[in-house]
Each structure stands twice: as C-alpha cells, then as structure tokens.
C-alpha cells in the first residue's frame, strides 16, 4: 500500500475511519509561510457534514500540528497534522462482518490484504481520510495565497440539477469561500438540497459533477509527457474516494467540435497574452498557457444506502442479502468539493516546485507570475 503522492512537495496520509486518529504529512513546503489554526479550521468546516442532507457522524476534527510549524510559520521541515477520531461506532460493522458492501472496497481489500484489513467504516479506504487531505491543503493554499493563485470548486450538477458555471472566476471563487453549500446559484442550492433529502427518504443516494478553476498559474509550468499538468492532477484526483471521471477544459465535449471552434486563439490584451476561449482548460501540450486551469470531476452516488441489496457472505461462502446500517451521507458530492480544492493546492505546489524549486513562492514573487 502506497500513501504518498508528489515529487518535490509530497503528501502522505495515514489512519483508518474507526482507528485512533487520521493524519497527514506534508513535506517539501517552503519555509516562512504563515499558518494560522483558523485557516485549517475553516477548511475542515467546509468538509464537515451539516443539516439533514448529511451523515449524522459529525467529528469535531480537533487537529494538532505536531511538527513543521514554529511560531506560526512553516520551518521547511515535514509538517505533520493529526486528527483524533472520537465519534466512532463499531457495532454495525461487526454485524456486517463477512458480507461485502456493494461498490465499496470491502471485497477487493479483503483479497489484496488477505483478511488483515481494518473493515470498520471502510478502514483506510474511507472518505474519513479526506479530512487529513483538507488540513494539508489548507497549508498548501497558504503558500499559494502569497503568489495570488486561487482555487475554487463548485457543484455544477447534482441529482440531475445544474448550477451556473463560472462567470467572473475570481469573484466566484471568493464567493464560494462564504458558502456553506458549494454552488454559485442560491436557488439551485435549495433545489439540489431538496433532491438529496428526497434520496435520503427513499434510503438511496445521488452523485454529482464538480467544476474547478485554478487562477494565476504562470505560463510554462508542467513536465510533459508523463508529468503533464493533466497527468499530475488526474493522478491525485482519482485518489479521492468516489471520483470516477476527470475532464479538462471542454473535456469530452471537445470531441464533437471542429478544429476551427475548439482552437483557443491567442491575442494580446492589456499587455498580456491570453486566449479568446479556454476549451483546452489553460493547458497546451501538458504545459500551462497562463489561462485558468479548469476541470470537472464525476462523483458517484454514496454506495452506502439503506435499501436491501444482494451481495455475498465470504465467511459462509454463499450469496446473501445486506441492509447497510450506520451513519452515511445520501450525497457526498458537496463534501468532496473542499477535498478537491485541498488536493489541487498540494499538487499545484508540487508542480510549481518542479519548475521554480522549493522556494517557488519567493521566485515567483520576483515577477515571474503572469
């Protein structure tokens, strides 16, 4: 099992859903980055369940930064953040032991790890570990703030209902910071929440599509072929539980365009080189072109539902039925959005360090940012 991603800036996560704690180690970050507990708290709050449309398991996420930050600033050494698990109930998983939950990692992990895996709440495969990713992302975003790189994700579609797309991306990203539910249109939020609550009433779940914009990445960043911007971001994004698809710019829709439509034509504007459209999502040849990097993620419906399902019992070696008990989200798509922001921030830091070195914030501040 490998739990580290990144080249120069690397992220390692550890822990299990119902273990004593989860956490993250972020290594390779520049020294001298101001880190406030409030920043991490606010990031975790965005991921935390709330209301009738989320799980009733509400961890307080009382994190502790145990290394790498001194007197409020990063030291340059590995940053380790630990989050205790406190709101834990093992009983329902003991009842289900042996019966494999459909579309979970129960069966595949059992085969791969020969029955030694921690199956409680999905163990190491649980979405609970995304809280650790969010803490690391808050630290990474603090570094990106110094070079004016902004990241924002909204739920563009959920339960068949759509939010509006990014218009003025910078203003929209700032707006999302103050949103409890990550959509740009408040009326869309009300309708989507009602559909999520309806799914919960029906003991079912719904999925969604997120849309992310990353602003102010300097032109010329990315390491083709195999470490292109798309390659590195996709590698990370597919590591988030429930993400089953990633597309950049116009994505699959670009296949239905002609070249004359899909080509992003260059022009000078206020002394800067920009493109008139952004169907390529700010990336050409795996390298940033200075336009916003945009991508979307397909997020599957929560596999833990209250309806009776067919499965197998590996202890009895027979077919079985299973009604999943416990505390689960009827939709996790809205809670995935801050996780996408966080992991994107970590990977962007790593990508920048590959071009500018580990002191990328100071180098870009000298005037390289466009």
Residues in contact with 45: Cβ distance below 8 Å, sequence separation at least 6, in sequence order: none
CATH number at residue 174: 3.60.150.10
In this predicted model, what pLDDT tens digit does every residue of 26-71 receive, in sequence order?
999 999 999 999 999 999 999 998 777 777 667 889 999 999 999 9
Q: Give Cα separations from 146 to 33, 140, 282, 292, 293 (angstroms).
A: 8, 10, 21, 18, 18
CB atoms within 10 A of CB 332: 27
- C-alpha–C-alpha distance, residues 5 and 353, integer Å: 14
- Whose tokens are 């609970």? That residue is 128
Region of poorest pLDDT, from 199-208, 268-277, 287-296, 360-369: 360-369
SS3 271: coil
In this predicted model, what pLDDT tens digit does every residue of 115-169 receive, in sequence order?
999 988 889 999 999 999 999 999 999 999 999 999 999 999 999 999 999 999 9
Which tokens in the block code for residue 116?
């030694």
Residue 57, pLDDT score? 67
- Whose tokens are 């791969």? That residue is 112
Region of poorest pLDDT, from 51-65, 189-203, 267-281, 313-327: 51-65
The CB-side HSE value for 222 (13 A sphere, CA atoms) comes to: 23
Residue 365, pLDDT score? 66
**Torsion angle of the four alpha carbons 288, 281, 136, 110, in this order, in degrees rounded to the nearest 10:** -120
* Residue 345 pLDDT level (bands cut at 50, 70, 90): very high
Which tokens in the block code for residue 202?
């029906």
pLDDT, mean of residues 245-258:
98
The dihedral sign for the CA sequence 36, 241, 182, 329:
negative
User: Which of 247, 303, 315 minimizes the C-alpha distance to 95?
Assistant: 315
Which tokens in the block code for residue 321?
């039925």
pLDDT, mean of residues 62-85:
97
Total domains, the chain: 1
Residue 97, pLDDT score? 80
Could you tell me if 291 and 282 are in contact, meaning their C-beta atoms sit under 8 angstroms apart? Answer: yes
Could you tell me if 64 and 49 are in contact, meaning their C-beta atoms sit under 8 angstroms apart? Answer: no
Region of poorest pLDDT, from 102-111, 197-206, 326-335, 347-356: 326-335
Residue 370, pLDDT score? 38
Please report which helix (H) or strand (E) contains residue 310, including its range: strand 309-313
User: Which of 160, 204, 156 minimizes the C-alpha distance to 53?
Assistant: 204
* 215, pLDDT greater than 90: yes
Between the two ends of the chain, the Cα-to-Cα distance in Å is 39
**Mean model confidence pLDDT for the chain:** 94
* 188, pLDDT greater than 80: yes
* 91, pLDDT greater than 90: no
- Whose tokens are 């218009």? That residue is 167
pLDDT, mean of residues 220-227:
97
SS3 92: helix
Q: Which domain holds residue 137?
A: 4-368
pLDDT, mean of residues 310-330:
92
Long-range Cβ pairs for the range 91-95 (8 Å, 24+) = 92/325, 92/326, 93/18, 93/119, 93/120, 93/121, 93/326, 95/325
Could you tell me if 343 and 239 are in contact, meaning their C-beta atoms sit under 8 angstroms apart? Answer: yes
Residue 344, pLDDT score? 98
């Amino acid at each position: 099992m490998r739990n580290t991603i990144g080249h120069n800036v690397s992220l390692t996560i550890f822990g299990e859903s119902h273990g004593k704690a989860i956490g993250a180690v972020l290594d390779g970050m520049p020294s001298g980055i101001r880190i406030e507990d409030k920043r991490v708290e606010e990031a975790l709050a965005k991921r935390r369940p709330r209301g009738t449309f989320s799980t009733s398991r509400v961890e307080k996420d009382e994190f502790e930064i145990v290394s790498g930050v001194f007197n409020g600033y990063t030291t340059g050494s590995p940053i380790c953040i630990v989050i205790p698990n406190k709101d834990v109930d093992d009983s329902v998983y003991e009842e289900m032991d042996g019966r494999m939950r459909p579309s979970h990692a129960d069966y595949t992990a059992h085969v791969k790890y020969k029955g030694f895996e921690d199956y409680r709440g999905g163990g190491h495969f649980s979405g609970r570990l995304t809280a650790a990713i969010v803490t690391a992302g808050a630290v990474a975003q603090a570094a990106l703030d110094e070079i004016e790189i902004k990241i924002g994700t909204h739920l563009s579609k959920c339960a068949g209902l759509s939010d509006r797309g990014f218009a003025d991306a910078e203003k929209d990203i700032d707006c999302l910071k103050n949103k409890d539910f990550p959509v740009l249109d408040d009326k869309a939020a009300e309708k989507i929440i009602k559909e999520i609550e309806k799914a919960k009433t029906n003991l079912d779940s719904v999925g969604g599509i997120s849309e992310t914009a990353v602003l102010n990445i300097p032109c010329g960043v990315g390491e083709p072929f195999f470490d292109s911007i798309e390659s590195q971001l996709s590698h990370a994004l597919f590591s988030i539980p429930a993400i089953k698809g990633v597309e950049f710019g116009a994505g699959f829709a670009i296949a239905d365009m002609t070249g004359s439509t899909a080509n992003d034509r260059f022009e000078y504007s206020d002394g800067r080189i920009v493109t008139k459209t952004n169907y390529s999502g700010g990336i050409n040849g795996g390298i940033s072109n200075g336009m916003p990097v945009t991508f979307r993620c397909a997020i599957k419906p929560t596999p833990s539902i209250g309806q009776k399902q067919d499965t197998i019992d590996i202890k009895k070696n027979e077919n079985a039925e299973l009604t999943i008990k416990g505390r689960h989200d009827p939709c996790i798509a809205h809670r995935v959005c801050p996780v996408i922001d966080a992991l994107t921030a970590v990977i962007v830091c790593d990508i920048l360090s590959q071009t500018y070195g580990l002191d990328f914030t100071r180098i870009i501040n000298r005037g390289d940012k466009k």
